[in-house]
A and B are shown apart, each in its own frame.
Chain A
Amino acid sequence: MAAKRMDLPQGTLDLLILKTLSLGSQHGWAISGRLQQISTGVVQVQQGSLYPSLHRLERRGWIKAEWAPSDNNRNAKYYELTRAGRKQLEADTASWRTLSRTIGAILDIA
């Protein structure tokens, strides 16, 4: 927990979850661990936002869920990216890149 913790901008959690799942199916706890790990602790996802987000994505059909035994032999709910979810990830990634580039450019000039 070296770096300062940051609040995620609205809507970006969905994108990060999709990205995390693009590497393979995961359960909720693992997703939150993974996010924390990759971001070296900058991104801290609370249960209170993670699970509603997962359920929302599932409803939209971008991810699908399946119960499967986990590494400690207990059943866990694994989430997996759907084809629609993959498309959404690409589109969202592209628009995020554009947005951040644009904002970066404006910040550099101004």
Chain B
Amino acid sequence: MLSDLMYRLRAIFRREAMERELAQELQFHYDREVAKLVDAGMSETEAQRRARLATGGLEQVKEECRDARGVSTFESTLRDVQYAARQLRKNPGFASVVVITLALGLGANTAVFSVLNAVLLRPLPYPDAERLVNVAWDGSGYLQELSSVKFQYWHDHARSFDAMATWRSSLDQVGITEERSNVRALSVSRDFLNVLGYTPALGRGFVAAGHVSGDPSVAIVSHAMWRTRLGSAADMVGHTIRLNDEPVTVVGVLPEFFEFPYQDEPVDVIVPLRMTVDPNDVAENWPTIARLREGVTREQAQADIVSLTASFRAAYPNQMSEQDRGMTLATFSELHVDDGVRRALWTLMSAVTFVLLIACANVANLFLARATARRREIAVHAALGATRARIVRLVLTESVLVALAGGALGLLLGRWMASALVALTPTAVPRMASVDIDWRVMLFTFAASLGTSLLFGGTAAWPAARARPSEVLKATARGSSGRSPMRDGLLVAQSALAMVLLVGAGLLVTTLISLTKVDPGFDVEDLVVVRLPTKPPGYDTSQDLWELERRVLQQFEGSPAIASIAAASSLPLERGINTPMTIAGRPDVWGTVEWRAVSPGYFQTLGITLLAGRSFDDTDGAGGPRVAIVNEAFARRYFPGDSPIRQRIEVGRVKGEFIRDPSLAGPGVEIVGIVQDIREISLRSEPRRTMYVLQAQAPTYLSNVSGTMPVFVAQARAARADAERALSQALRGADPALPTPHVFPLDEVVARSLARERFGATLLSVLAALALVLTALGLHGVLAYTVQQRRREIGIRMALGAGGRQVTRLVMAQGIAPVLVGLLLGVLGSIGLSRSIAGFLWGVTPTDPATFATVAAILLGVAMAASWIPARDAANLDPVKTLSCE
């Protein structure tokens, strides 16, 4: 055993010496054989011939001896690698083109995969993350957060969880010394840290009697805040800081690596939650997470929480509608990554895969050309006894080597591309900030490199391995047409993939163009928006907000800078608020409508036309009769063929019950006017049924839903800068404690509402352009190579009278034919894939003939240009020189 090991080790580490000895040994045998035969009376040459025959292939004998040594696999691989590296070093131009092409493809894949990995695949960053589950309410097909009663019920009755927790996020003000600053605070239920599996780095967690209502005078601060604002004081625990002007005692410091992906911004402070559990409150706004009990599977837990639904329905009938399916477990990405983002990511992943395949085809072509050039070398190997498997291995080793180099470079490139992707993504995507190159990404890139190398290496090795050495060695370079089905096949595949990408990009661009042409229904020009970034303390009720609006608005009566100004709870094209309502006197006519609290000048300022009835005026005040204005869509839906004016709406009422705020019951809100429809939600969605009410009359619960301050929008009279300054001053004048507002033009809102579409269209266009360039390079390379191979034939044709034009046509036809086939396949492929892109489109069908025609023209044009250059070179050949040089 030991000698065996020593032998193998020696074979590995003293390979060259052993190899030399083997050669010497065999040479010795050969010489002795020759000498013996000469002694027996044979001529020297005849003896040599006989001895060689007896040997039966020197390489083969050597190979079998290596096999017998038992280290052959490792060792011959090592040898192959060295050989391949030597071959590549000899040809640095080839090697670098291949490596760069692959790095581009692999880099793009690495970048997109690292985003996919961070957002969708990677488990949450917690200890035993597989035991962490999200609990959600399945209301007839879409997942919601829980109402307070649901949270309490399952918290008390579910047996599969160690702990269950909820939280609410808010922007608070913290004061450590004199100055106050905004911090992101989480109010959490008692077991929050236990569910995540964290213990504080310093101090303790929350200990409270009730699971949802903790001691309001304590807080845990983040590690970053402890370090930067509290000076890393070791005795921080027990210290008092001021939170929203209330003194709170710091009882703990979070660990440094605390992450909470449910929240876009980092968390600064954690305070105990105060939740009132009210059986009449059906608002679904408590996100819920839980930690599975040790040994309990997800399936068991799912069965457990589902089994409680029936008893819950019996206990709280008003908490469930007929269609509700009940409690369910959900994954983080199901709940927090919206479907559009998920589909966009997978679409992007497919797009970069296409680019990689195109790059792969280019490299395969380069390898094929090289294999043809090296035919003789390979044939010599084969004649010396190298087996077919050995030759394939030789080519594959080279492929693996360049692919790994491409992969390594791709990792670097991908890292850079990923950060660009993250920085440029216009919408908030959960966990996007945690994108990095972790082991999963590395593994992916490694696997992708290997897969790629097998693909192009295999393609190139196939013909090389099949060639018969005798024929190759006999044949001269002459007479080869340079045309091969493999090469044509690669061109077809490339063009087809490029066509699919181009169609995708074309459709997204068309969508973007049609969206920018949509009339939003309101004025955009010269309008300035002023928005407060946070909600300062003291603005809790609708009345508080109205007071602020009034104080700001009245400063502009007769202002030289501002023609008109209005306030609103939110802007069109931004996230709105909706509410259930019932038409008074018709309890079965109810629905959910968009809701905006505005000031009287809203319609005038935004240029929204009043179609019937009256607008809000100064007589409609806080104490007056409650009035509303609805849009056309509302009127059409609830009062078809009838006037809604003077009709009444019961806000918050569904089937005889006021589900949000029972105190709203009363005569309802009277409709006093109808305004024209505008694009409320986004440019791509039809106008929603909308009701406008005055901020002065808005129910507080609606004002507080989004937790934001009113937005002011103003029509500038002259220079926009003057208007912006006047607006900022007016806000400060109304309340000096207000935070500095953001001021921006309204068209920014419109542009922002298209940011996703613009980003998608740009990204896919870049990828399609890359695909196009790679395809063009591939085509050009193949044709240039073919022209080189067919020099002689072309020379003969020209000598026989073929003109330059004929030659050009001949060469170009050879390039365009496979592109045309690929183009057709690409069209079919795009039609086949139309379902997967349809969701991103607007104003264009996924099989839009105009788009198809345009991108087909682009592809053909580029293909013509790419094949024209080698065609021209062919036409410029000098037949005399070509024919005489061989």
Which residues of A are interface residues toward B (Cβ below 8 A)? 27-29, 32-33, 46-48, 51-53, 55-56, 58-61, 67, 70, 72, 74-77, 84
Q: Which residues of A contact B3 (CB under 8 A)?
A: 59-61, 84
Contacting residue for A59 out of B25, B56, B57, B70, CB 8 A:
B70
Shortest Cβ-Cβ A-B pairs, 5 listed: A61-B3, A52-B68, A55-B68, A56-B68, A52-B64
30 of the cross-chain contacts (CB-CB < 8 Å) are: A27-B25, A28-B25, A28-B29, A29-B28, A29-B29, A33-B36, A47-B29, A47-B61, A48-B56, A48-B57, A51-B25, A51-B29, A51-B61, A52-B64, A55-B68, A59-B3, A59-B4, A59-B7, A59-B68, A60-B3, A61-B4, A61-B7, A67-B21, A70-B28, A72-B32, A74-B28, A75-B24, A77-B25, A77-B28, A84-B3
Q: Are B67 and A52 in contact (CB under 8 A)?
A: yes
- Tell yes or no: B854 within 8 A of A by CB: no
Chain A minimum-CB-distance residue to B1: A61
Whether A48 touches B69, Cβ cut-off 8 Å, given contacts A29-B28, A77-B25, is no
**Chain B, range 1-42, C-beta contacts under 8 Å to A:** 2-4, 7-8, 21-22, 24-26, 28-29, 31-33, 35-36
User: Once the chains are docked, how many angstroms separate the CA of A14 from the CA of B65?
Assistant: 14
In the bound complex, residues from chain A placing their C-beta under 8 Å from that of B24 are 75, 77
Contacts of A29 in B (CB 8 A): 28-29, 32-33
Q: Is the CB of B68 within 8 A of A46?
A: no
- Give chain B residues whose Cβ lies under 8 Å from the Cβ of A58: 7
Q: In the complex, A55→B36 CA distance in Å?
A: 24
A110 and B576 CA atoms in complex are apart in Å by 100
Measured between C-beta atoms, what is the minimum distance from B72 to chain A in Å? 11
| CB closest chain-B residue, reference A49 | B64
Chain A residue with Cβ nearest B11: A59
Q: Which of B2, B4, B65 lies in contact with A55, CB distance below 8 A?
A: B65
CA distance A61 to B7 in the complex (A): 9
CA distance A61 to B2 in the complex (A): 9
Known contacts A29-B28, A59-B8: A52-B65 contact under CB 8 Å: yes
**How near does chain B come to A106, taking the closest CB pair, in angstroms?**
33
Contact between B70 and A48, CB atoms less than 8 A apart: no
Residues of B within 8 A of A (CB): 2-4, 7-8, 21-22, 24-26, 28-29, 31-33, 35-36, 54-57, 60-61, 64-65, 67-70
Nearest A residue (CB) for B70? A59
Residue in A closest to B28 when the chains form the complex, CB atoms:
A76
The reply to whether A52 and B25 contact each other, CB–CB distance below 8 Å, is no
Chain B residues, Cβ within 8 Å of A72: 32, 35
Assuming the A-B contacts A55-B68, A75-B24, are A48 and B29 also in contact, with contact meaning beta carbons closer than 8 angstroms in the complex? no
Cα A23 to Cα B584 with chains together (Å): 118
Contacts of B4 in A (CB 8 A): 59-61
Complex contacts, B56 vs chain A, CB 8 Å? 46-48
Residue of B nearest to A31 (CB): B29
SS of A interface (majority): helix
For the complex with contacts A29-B32, A55-B68, A59-B68, 8 further pairs of A-B residues with Cβ separation under 8 Å are A28-B29, A29-B29, A46-B54, A47-B26, A59-B3, A74-B31, A76-B25, A84-B3
Do residues A77 and B69 form an inter-chain contact, with CB atoms below 8 A? no
Across the interface, which residues of B come within 8 angstroms of A46, CB to CB? 54, 56
In the assembled complex, which residues on chain B have CB atoms less than 8 Å from the CB atom of A75?
24, 28
- A48 lies within 8 A of B25 (CB): no
Q: Which residues of A contact B64 (CB under 8 A)?
A: 48, 51-52
Q: How far is the CA of A46 from the CA of B33 in the complex (A)?
A: 12
Closest to A58 in B: B7
A29-B32, A29-B33, A77-B21 known; A51+B26 contact, CB < 8 A: yes
Kindly provide the distance from the CB of A60 to the nearest chain B CB, expressed in whole angstroms. Answer: 7
In the assembled complex, the Cα of A16 lies from the Cα of B56 at a distance in Å of: 21
Chain B proximity of A109: nearest CB distance (Å)? 39
- The distance in angstroms between the C-alpha atoms of A60 and B36, with both chains bound, is 32
Nearest CB in chain B: distance from A104 CB, A: 32
A70 to B69, CA, bound (A): 25
- Please measure, in the bound complex, the distance between the C-alpha atom of A74 and the C-alpha atom of B60, giving whole angstroms: 25
- Give the complex CA separation of A56 and B22 in angstroms: 13
| Contact across chains for A27 and B28 when beta carbons are under 8 A apart | yes
**In the complex, A70→B56 CA distance in Å?**
25
Complex: A46 Cα to B51 Cα, angstroms: 11
Contacts of A33 in B (CB 8 A): 36
CA distance A108 to B67 in the complex (A): 40
Cα(A107)–Cα(B479), bound, Å: 64
CA of A71 to CA of B804, assembled, Å? 73
B7: nearest residue on chain A (CB-CB)? Answer: A59
Bound together, the chains give a CA A27 to CA B778 distance in angstroms of 57
| A55–B21 CB distance below 8 A | no
List A contacts of B26 (CB < 8 A): 47, 51
A84 nearest CB neighbor, chain B only: B3
Q: Which of B21, B31, B32 gathers most chain A CB within 10 Å?
A: B32
A84 to B4, CA, bound (A): 12
* A33 and chain B: residue at smallest CB distance: B36
Shortest Cβ gap from A79 to chain B (Å):
10
Complex Cα–Cα for A48 and B32 (A)? 16
Residues of B with C-beta under 8 A to A53: 68
Cβ–Cβ < 8 Å partners of B25 in chain A: 27-28, 51, 76-77
Per the bound structure, the CA–CA distance linking A77 and B28 in Å amounts to: 9
Task: Point out the residues of chain B lying under 8 angstroms from A70, CB to CB.
Answer: 28
**Cα–Cα distance between A81 and B490 once the two chains are bound (Å):** 59
Residues of A near B32 (CB, < 8 A) are 29, 72
Q: How far is the CA of A102 from the CA of B813 in the complex (A)?
A: 76
Q: For residue A74, which residues in chain B have a CB less than 8 angstroms away from its CB?
A: 28, 31
Complexed CA–CA distance, A52 and B69 (Å)? 8
- Measured CB to CB, the nearest residue on chain B to A67 is B21
Residues of A within 8 A of B61 (CB): 47-48, 51-52
Residue of B nearest to A59 (CB): B7
Give bound CA distance, A32 to B8, whole Å.
26
Query: Within the assembled complex, what's the spacing in Å between the Cα atoms of A59 and B8?
Result: 8
CA distance A88 to B830 in the complex (A): 71
C-alpha gap A47/B62 in the complex (Å): 10
Interface residue from B2, B8, B60 paired with A48 (Cβ < 8 Å): B60
Compute how far the CA of A74 lies from the CA of B64 in the bound complex, rounded to whole angstroms: 25
CA A52 to CA B467, docked complex, whole Å: 29
Q: Is the CB–CB distance between A47 and B55 below 8 Å?
A: yes
Residue of A at shortest CB range from B35? A72
Q: Which residues of A contact B31 (CB under 8 A)?
A: 74
- Shortest A1–chain B CB gap in Å is 12
| B28 surroundings in chain A (CB, below 8 A) | 27-29, 70, 74-77
CA distance A72 to B31 in the complex (A): 11
In the complex, A47→B28 CA distance in Å?
12
Q: Say whether B60 contacts A55, CB under 8 Å.
A: no
State whether B55 touches A59 (Cβ < 8 A).
no
Q: Which residues of B contact A47 (CB under 8 A)?
A: 26, 29, 54-56, 61
Question: In the complex, what's the smallest C-beta–C-beta distance from B601 to chain A, in angstroms?
Answer: 96
How far is it, in angstroms, between the C-alpha of A70 and the C-alpha of B54 when the chains are bound? 22
Rounded to whole angstroms, the CA-CA distance of A97 and B25 in the bound complex is: 33
Task: For the complex, give the distance between the alpha carbons of A59 and B70 in Å.
Answer: 8
Chain B residues within 8 Å of A51, by CB? 22, 25-26, 29, 61, 64-65, 68
- Taken together as a complex, chains A and B put the C-alpha atoms of A60 and B68 apart, in Å, by 10
CB distance from A20 to the nearest CB of B (A): 15
- Measured CB to CB, the closest approach of chain A to B71, in angstroms, equals 9
Q: Write out the residue numbers on chain A whose beta carbons fall within 8 Å of the beta carbon of B69.
A: 55-56, 59
Q: How many angstroms between the C-alpha atoms of A59 and B65 in the bound complex?
A: 11
- B332 to A: closest C-beta gap in Å: 56
